[in-house]
């Protein structure tokens, strides 16, 4: 991040409890303009709960600001109107609609109420915004293809495109790379980088650190609801608490030198560390 860049998302002491489970404990996380921030942690660490908390889908304690607006007491639709967009872990597209039509309609939600809430809250994207979004994500050639005919990787991209089409101030993505192979993950990473470089700061959640460490500017690591490390990918991958939290297959990834060079390459030419 370059010095003095505007803070888009600011959270201070965000905490969520589900009965006796403390899903988040005093989480502080900022996303600045032109930043791709990664939020990683093992399954159950609290990543989805963090997105739910900032978008207003679970009650939380603490302070949440978007672009200087205090979101803490606002319902989800008001947060969406202020420019907070998200994707869900399981992406549902309208299979009998084309890619372009999927961008034009409000996205499907788990409950009817949530769908209604989103329908009234999100402005439909203009044709120009849709075309720009499709181009940014490399989906232009697929614009008239039915969603049911898409590969899993392209379905994920359409999910991202749909959240992006309304022109949000912050994009929050919950495990957009789940189910993709390593080549598809790398391609998704490049696309997300171009989304951020084109002007939409993004919070990228993933449980697998490879993608996040290779494309993000800044990484926050959760374990059992607490932030155990944060910083640039190069520092986070060497952090002993992170390695311990990820003991197992992902620990090998942390020390994989090929990822390190990917990390440096993908971030070269992007914003310089101060």
Ligand X SMILES: Nc1ncnc2c1ncn2[C@@H]1O[C@H](COP(=O)(O)OP(=O)(O)O)[C@@H](O)[C@H]1O
Residues engaged in binding ligand X (CB under 6 A): 18, 21, 23, 41, 43-49
Compute φ and ψ for 13, nearest 5 degrees: 65, 40
Q: Which is nearer to ligand X, 10 or 47 (CB)?
A: 47
Q: What are phi and psi of 58, to 5 degrees?
A: -130, 150
DSSP 8-state code for residue 20:
T
Residue 18 partner contact from ligand X, Mg ion, none using kind-dependent CB cut-offs of 5 to 8 Å: ligand X
Q: Which one of ligand X, Mg ion, none interacts with residue 21, CB within 5 to 8 A by kind?
A: ligand X
Residue in this structure with the two tokens 């949530």, named with its chain if needed: 114
Please enumerate in sequence order all residues whose Cβ is within 8 A of that of 208, keeping only pairs 6 or more positions apart, or say none. Answer: 40, 177, 250, 253
- The residue among 52 and 263 lying less far from ligand X, judged by its C-beta, is 52
Give the burial class of 221: count Cβ atoms within 10 A of its Cβ; 0-12 exposed, 13-18 middle, 19 or more buried: buried
User: Measured from the CB atom, is 208 or 256 closer to Mg ion?
Assistant: 208
CB of 23 vs ligand X, minimal distance in Å: 3
Per partner kind, with CB cut-offs from 5 to 8 A, the member of ligand X, Mg ion, none near residue 87 is none
Q: How far is the CB of 17 from ligand X (least distance, A)?
A: 9
Contact of residue 43 among ligand X, Mg ion, none (CB under 5-8 Å per partner type): ligand X
Query: 41 or 210: whose CB is closer to ligand X?
Result: 41
| Residue 64 CB, nearest approach to Mg ion (Å) | 19
**Element holding 26 (H helix, E strand):** strand 21-32
Nearer to ligand X, 23 or 64 (CB): 23
Q: Cα–Cα distance between 212 and 208 in angstroms, integer?
A: 8
Closest to 188 measured CA to CA, from 154, 220, 165: 154
Which is nearer to Mg ion, 185 or 267 (by Cβ)? 185
Burial class, 142, CB count within 10 angstroms (exposed 0-12 / middle 13-18 / buried 19+): buried
78-86-25 Cα angle (round to 5): 85
Residues of span 37-56 touching Mg ion by CB under 5 A = 47-48
- Kindly state the smallest distance separating residue 89's Cβ from Mg ion, in Å: 5
Residue 44 interacts with which of ligand X, Mg ion, none, CB < 5 to 8 Å by class: ligand X
Give min distance, CB of 48 to Mg ion, in A: 3
């Amino acid at each position: 991040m370059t010095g003095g860049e505007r803070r888009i998302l600011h959270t201070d002491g965000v905490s969520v409890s589900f009965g006796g489970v403390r899903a988040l404990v005093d989480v502080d996380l900022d996303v600045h303009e032109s930043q791709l921030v990664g939020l990683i942690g093992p399954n159950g660490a609290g990543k989805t709960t963090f997105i739910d908390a900032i978008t207003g889908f679970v009650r939380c304690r603490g302070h949440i600001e978007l672009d200087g607006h205090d979101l803490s007491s606002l319902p989800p639709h008001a947060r969406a109107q202020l420019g907070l967009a998200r994707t869900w872990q399981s992406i549902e597209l309208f299979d009998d609609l084309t890619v372009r039509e999927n961008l034009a309609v409000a996205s499907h939600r788990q409950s009817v109420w949530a769908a209604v809430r989103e329908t009234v809250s999100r402005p439909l994207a203009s044709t120009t915004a849709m075309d720009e979004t499709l181009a940014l994500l490399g989906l232009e050639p697929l614009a008239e293809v039915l969603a049911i005919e898409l590969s899993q990787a392209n379905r994920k991209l359409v999910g991202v495109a749909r959240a992006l089409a309304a022109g949000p101030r912050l994009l929050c993505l919950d495990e957009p790379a789940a189910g993709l192979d390593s080549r598809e993950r790398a391609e998704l990473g490049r696309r997300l980088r171009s989304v951020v470089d084109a002007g939409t700061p993004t919070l990228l959640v993933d449980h697998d650190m490879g993608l996040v460490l290779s494309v993000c500017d800044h990484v926050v690591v959760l374990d059992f609801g607490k932030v155990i490390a944060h910083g640039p990918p190069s520092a986070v991958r060497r952090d002993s608490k992170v390695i311990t939290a990820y003991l197992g297959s992902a620990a090998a990834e942390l020390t994989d030198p090929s990822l390190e060079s990917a990390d440096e390459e993908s971030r070269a030419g992007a914003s310089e560390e101060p």
